[in-house]
């Protein structure tokens, strides 16, 4: 490749503009220490940059960590769908917050699961499955009794 062609490619790369407020920053994988460049909004903390690099790193530990983060996010989304404000019969915020905290504890292997009797025949269950997935379950029991 001629030196003028290399110079043109370099000039083109330098002229590429990033959207306003985005900057390229260097972070490091928390597991293997490999450096990575990420485009972030101005003002991201070093910790947040390193987290983004870690989530995108190809080392085995980072891949495992990335899957765990994704599992937690998905389980929390399900908790909000089944029990949060937009649910058919939403539970109180304090109960939803307890379930969201339980997702973290379950993924961190501090506990295997939790079942909450929320009253009105509603039970919430969050548990770790054999294949590492987190199960979020809502059950409602309806009981009708007649006494004559």
- Where in the chain are the domains? 16-58, 70-140
Q: Can you tell me the distance from the alpha carbon of 47 to that of 61, in angstroms, rounded to the nearest whole number?
A: 18
Whole-structure pTM value: 0.76
Q: What's the confidence (pLDDT) of residue 116? A: 96
Structure tokens at 112: 């295997």
Q: Does residue 15 or residue 119 have the better pLDDT?
A: 119
32 Cα distance to chain centroid: 21
Q: What's the confidence (pLDDT) of residue 4? A: 46
Q: What's the confidence (pLDDT) of residue 51? A: 96
Q: Can you tell me the distance from the alpha carbon of 21 to that of 9, in angstroms, rounded to the nearest whole number?
A: 25
Q: How far is CA 121 from CA 54, 91, 97, 140, in A?
A: 43, 12, 20, 5
| Structure confidence by residue, pLDDT tens digits, 9-20 | 444 445 456 677
**Cβ distance 121 to 138 under 8 Å?**
no
């Amino acid at each position: 490749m001629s030196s003028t062609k290399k110079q043109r490619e370099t000039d083109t790369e330098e002229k590429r503009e990033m959207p306003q407020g985005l900057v390229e920053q260097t972070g490091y994988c928390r597991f293997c220490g490999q450096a990575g460049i990420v485009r972030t909004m101005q003002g991201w903390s070093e910790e947040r940059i390193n987290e983004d690099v870690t989530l995108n790193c190809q080392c085995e530990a980072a891949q495992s960590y990335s899957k765990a983060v994704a599992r937690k996010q998905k389980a929390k989304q399900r908790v909000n769908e089944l029990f949060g404000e937009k649910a058919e019969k939403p539970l109180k915020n304090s109960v939803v917050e307890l379930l969201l905290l339980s997702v973290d504890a379950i993924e961190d292997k501090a506990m295997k699961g939790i079942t909450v009797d929320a009253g009105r025949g509603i039970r919430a269950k969050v548990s770790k499955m054999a294949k590492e997935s987190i199960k979020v379950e809502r059950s409602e029991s309806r009981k009708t009794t007649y006494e004559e």
